[in-house]
Structure 1
Amino acid sequence: MTEPVEIGILLFPKVTQLDATGPAQVLSLVPGARVHMIWKTLDPVPTDAGFSIMPTTTFAQCPRLDVICVPGGAGQVELMVDRETLDFLRRQAETARYVTSVCTGSLVLGAAGLLRGYRSACHWAWREMLADFGAVPVAERVVRDRNRISGGGVTAGIDFGFTVAAELVGEEAARSIQLMLEYDPHPPFDSGSPEKAGAERVKRLRERMAPMLENRRKANAEAAARLEQAAS
């Protein structure tokens, strides 16, 4: 009998739901997979999309995971100095086969001290902040460095899911999952990266995101300082 593959995806208030549900949909189809949606309590967790997701387990009840995944979202800022969450991630990372993230979830891994010396992806707008934690920012959709696997911004979580699936059960099984989900994207616009969107559109979007950028910078600086203090 095949041992189950325990896959855990962190939830938190104001999580970007596709960061979590994209990988969850893909990885739920891995043979033997058991997907756990994890938070501190079993209360519904509000996402940034106006609906909530029900956790399936808590930090205290969560089994030892083969894969731990941290998604991103506006609520990631609060997690940067949330000792309970960071301690949970550190404990799981000690034995997990793969320590992973999507979007700004990589900053949370960084705050937990789990990315020092590792290459990592992140959403393009916040990618350079990874350097605060000794990580190496990489402008790629999915980045693999040893047992760290990270996806870039939001929709990259789906590609990330197939990458992790291939690691767990092989490329052929991952290709079959891709076919089952009919994942054959042909977007109506070719504007999904700063390079393709053009400088003027990127400038306008950065101006709109300026308050969030400042919040993330402050949270990053505080988290990096705490990590440095703990190491000294």
Structure 2
Amino acid sequence: MTRTFMDAAFVLYDRMTALDMVGPYEMLAPNPEITPHFVAHRRGTVRADQGLELNATTTFDELPGPDLIVVPGSGRWRAVLEQNDALLAWLAAAHPAATWTTSVCTGATLLAKAGLLTGRTATTHWVSREVLGELGAKVSTDRVVVDGDIITAAGVSAGLDMGLALVGTLFDADRAKLLQLMNEYQPEPPYDSGSLEKAPPGVVAFARAYDAETSIRTD
């Protein structure tokens, strides 16, 4: 098999959800053919939505044409959607030359606002499905969706599945199975409340109220 070497842009921005990026990173970065870059509007510290500090080592201007783009979502996604013009412009310019453009969770709304999902099928966190549709996408409730050269994953933990699926596509199933094994990714959660369809009504109501309060915050 011919080895294809790729520059992978893992996008960072203030108030992003760390696991959205770290999940795919842990599946993709161990592959020697992939060179990871942590890209943002400017170099330096980026604070995730729960306070974790990450370090952007590359600017958008320094990496105009990556082969692979990974865009995380945010718990403050409504505010983020209105305050990242530099990121949106970079996505619109970088995507045409990329082999794969991907998103996790509400990161799909950023792809959509950048004009990348018009008429395409995509998934996102359940809280942002309506907005994703308003931005021109055909909304799916699947955990991972592939439409042409764009892969979208549903909420947060789905980024792990997307990362594995991408490894299988870029390389082969055995490589993906190896990474699944090394990460011991065999979920057995103690509760069966991980989807909108399975969660108790009271939990869903609380989650909707929580999102309505936090997604617009800019602090």
> Normalised by the size of structure 2, how large is the TM-score?
0.92
Matching residue of 1:117: 119
Please give the per-residue CA displacement for 1:187-231, whole angstroms capped at 9, x wherever unaligned.
111110111112222112212222245x39xxxxxxxxxxxxxxx
Counterpart of 1:15, as a letter, is: M
Higher helix share: 1
Matching residue of 1:179: 181
Corresponding residue to 1:206 among 181, 198, 208: 208
**Gapped runs of 5+ residues in structure 2?**
none
Mapped contact 2:15–2:80 kept (Cα < 8 A):
no
Matching residue of 1:31: 32
Aligned mates of 2:57, 2:182 — CA distance in 1: 25
Aligned mates of 1:190, 1:79 — CA distance in 2: 31
Aligned mates of 1:84, 1:201 — CA distance in 2: 36
Q: CA deviation at 1:89?
A: 0.6
Matching residue of 2:199: 197
1:48 aligns with 2:49: yes
Aligned mates of 2:152, 2:82 — CA distance in 1: 17
Secondary structure of the equivalent of 1:93? helix
1:92 aligns with 2:94: yes
**Gapped runs of 5+ residues in structure 1?**
217-232
Q: CA deviation at 1:63?
A: 5.4
Secondary structure of the equivalent of 1:209? helix
Please give the per-residue CA displacement for 1:154-209, whole angstroms capped at 9, x wherever unaligned.
11111111011111112121111111111111111111011111222211221222
* Cα RMSD (Å): 1.8
Aligned mates of 1:75, 1:37 — CA distance in 2: 20
Aligned mates of 1:169, 1:116 — CA distance in 2: 29
Q: CA deviation at 1:30?
A: 2.4
Secondary structure of the equivalent of 1:54? strand
Please give the per-residue CA displacement for 1:92-132, whole angstroms capped at 9, x wherever unaligned.
10100111100010000010000001111100111121111
Aligned-pair identity in percent equals 36
Mapped contact 2:16–2:73 kept (Cα < 8 A):
yes
Secondary structure of the equivalent of 1:44? strand
Aligned mates of 2:135, 2:211 — CA distance in 1: 22
Aligned mates of 1:90, 1:210 — CA distance in 2: 28
Matching residue of 1:69: 70
Aligned mates of 2:45, 2:119 — CA distance in 1: 36
Secondary structure of the equivalent of 1:8? strand
